[in-house]
Structure 1
Amino acid sequence: MPFETPEEKVAALNNRYRHHSATDVMQGALRDAGRIALVSSFGAESVVLLHMAAVVDKSTPVLFIDTEMLFTETLEYQQEVTERLGLRNVRVIRAADIAEKDPYGALRFSDTDACCALRKTIPLQRALDGYDGWITGRKRFQSSTRAALDFFEVEDGTGRIKVNPLAHWAPEDVRAYMDENRLPRHPLVAQGYPSIGCWPCTSKVEEGEDPRSGRWRDSQKDECGIHFVDGKAVRGPL
């Protein structure tokens, strides 16, 4: 049945899939949520959602933001995973105005938020135009602000649906899925990088540290800001 608002649609989807698996949510999102894209960093855990999407439909749009400051290993991993899974619709997104606004790559020294906005959040927001929603890898265990995360939610200000198939997963679920399906690991994980972003702002994590402690180390920043409120990119978790 048609829904008058995105909120009504999200409520119906959450009710329908409340007790279903992540794979069911992925399949339902691609079938019932309109025109959907999977946004992937091809990072440490990205291969799980990419594999789920490939099982359902290898032509699922996958948006990969190349900030032009990614590790060489990430770029090589993106190609490897794309070929291994047979993904047929990976779209590499790059900002068109980096040469104009950050010609020497020095913006990261004076304003990391502005650097993320220029290279990642604004290009992603533009790339999502025309889509009804997007699939994310967010999980409840990642922070207290995500403790009540649903499979489906409405993005403030845009009306797009955000789909979180792994909302209820724990770290061991991610590892088990990768093992069971023999999925390739990002090569930097074995070198001490459990969370991987741009190379200037990512460092190794020591044993016992929080997995994300290597991102923007020694700063108050802990998110690149790819989520939106009132149509604007926001820095912290929703």
Structure 2
Amino acid sequence: MLDGTLDDRAERLNQRYKHHAAIEVLRRALNDPDLGKVALVSSFGSESVVLLHMVSVVAPGTPVLFIDTQMLFQETLDYQLEVSRKLQLTDVRTIRATDREVALNDPDGTLHQFNTDACCDFRKTVPLERALSEFDGWITGRKRFQGGQRQELEFFEPEPPSRLRVNPLAHWRASDVQEYMAENKLPRHPLVAKGYASIGCAPCTSPIKPGEDPRAGRWRGSQKTECGIHFIGGQAVRAGANP
């Protein structure tokens, strides 16, 4: 039984680890009773290998949840296999919408063309919620420098009604990410070399131009900035909000 409210637990954890480096946040928090049972959720995108590597070092048996939307780039699927083998991750779980959910919601694969929110919901949010039902928290790769609603991230944040999110890289700069990859000789997602800075589903992701925000290639031409799995209690949290 976890003690205290969700907000209390998040506050205790943030105070406890506020001066720790990212890998120590992971190393210690994964065994902290205030956190409980956690999984790492990974897109195996452009920067995902950093957290995957950290987990492989401190706790390689940590469950890794990979959301296969069935609309990913082939390069992402190949990269997921490559990284999992290289880092010797022992519990990678591929999660996806059921055949019935696809048949009901998007039988012809065109839902993303006219309702991206609905597409993300049934392909990402619903399968992830199902997979996370057995966990008390989950680890994300979100960072403050990514902007938008991420600008005031803390290491730990409540996700009502009952889960915590862990953001070990919250305070990292973009340069920190690149340096970590280089120092540890980690494989890069092949689409990065083609101008993709943030990689999601193939139909909704495009390369960015020099000087553009790293997430400008996601849902280009729309106001959409998040797929839904990073909302709080199902609601979008805007920059400056205090969930």
TM-score, with length taken from structure 1: 0.94
Return the match for 1:49 from 39, 51, 63: 51
Other-structure match for 1:113: 117
Determine helix, strand or coil for the equivalent of 2:210: coil
**Separation in structure 2 between the aligned mates of residue 198 and residue 117 of structure 1, nearest angstrom:** 13
- How much does 1:26 deviate? 0.9
CA contact (8 A) 2:68 2:94 kept: yes
Query: Are 2:182 and 1:176 equivalent residues in the alignment?
Result: no
Distance 2:183 2:119 in 1: 38
CA contact (8 A) 2:144 2:150 kept: yes
| From 193, 217, 231, the counterpart of 2:220 | 217
- Seen in structure 2, the aligned counterparts of structure 1 residues 22 and 191 have a Cα distance that, compared at 3 Å, is same
Give 1:57 shift.
1.3
Please, which runs of 5 or more residues in structure 2 have no aligned partner? none
Structure 2 CA distance for aligned equivalents of residues 107 and 169 of structure 1? 35
The aligned counterpart of 1:126 is 130
Give 1:1-238 correspondences, 5 Å limit: 3-32=3-32, 33-96=35-98, 97-143=101-147, 145-155=149-159, 157-230=160-233, 232=234, 234=236
Contact preservation (8 Å) 2:146, 2:215: no
Q: CA deviation at 1:167?
A: 0.7
TM-score by length of 2: 0.92
In structure 2, C-alpha distance between the alignment counterparts of 1:132 and 1:110, rounded to whole Å = 35
Per-residue CA deviations over 1:97-131 (Å, capped at 9, x if unaligned) read 11232111011112011001011111111111010
- The AA in structure 2 aligned to 1:90 is V
Q: CA deviation at 1:139?
A: 1.0
1-10 or 136-145, larger mean C-alpha shift: 1-10
Could you tell me which amino acid in structure 1 is paired with residue 88 of structure 2? G
2:63, 2:92 within 8 Å by CA — same for their partners in 1? Answer: yes
Q: 2:232 is matched by which residue type in structure 1?
A: V
Shift of 1:215: 0.9
CA RMSD in angstroms, aligned pairs only: 1.7
Q: Indicate the percent of aligned positions where both proteins have the same amino acid.
A: 60
CA drift of 1:140 comes to 1.4
Per-residue CA distance 1:14-62 (angstroms, 9 max, x = gap): 1111101000111122111210000000000000000001101111000
Cα distance, 1:144 vs. partner?
5.0
Q: Which shows bigger deviation, 30-39 or 70-79? A: 30-39
Amino acid in structure 1 at the alignment position of 2:76 = T
The one-letter amino acid of 1:39's match is V
Please, which runs of 5 or more residues in structure 1 have no aligned partner?
A: none
> Does structure 2 retain, via aligned residues, the 8 Å contact 1:113–1:235?
no
Counterpart AA for 1:70: L
Q: One-letter code of the match for 1:29?
A: A
d(CA) in 2 for partners of 1:2, 1:106: 43
| Preserved contact between residue 224 and residue 235 of structure 1 (Cα < 8 Å) | no
Which amino acid counterpart does residue 146 of structure 2 have in structure 1? Q
Can you list the C-alpha shifts for 1:128-159, whole angstroms capped at 9, x where unaligned? Answer: 1010000011111222533332111111x322
Check whether the contact 1:223–1:236 (CA below 8 A) recurs between aligned residues: no
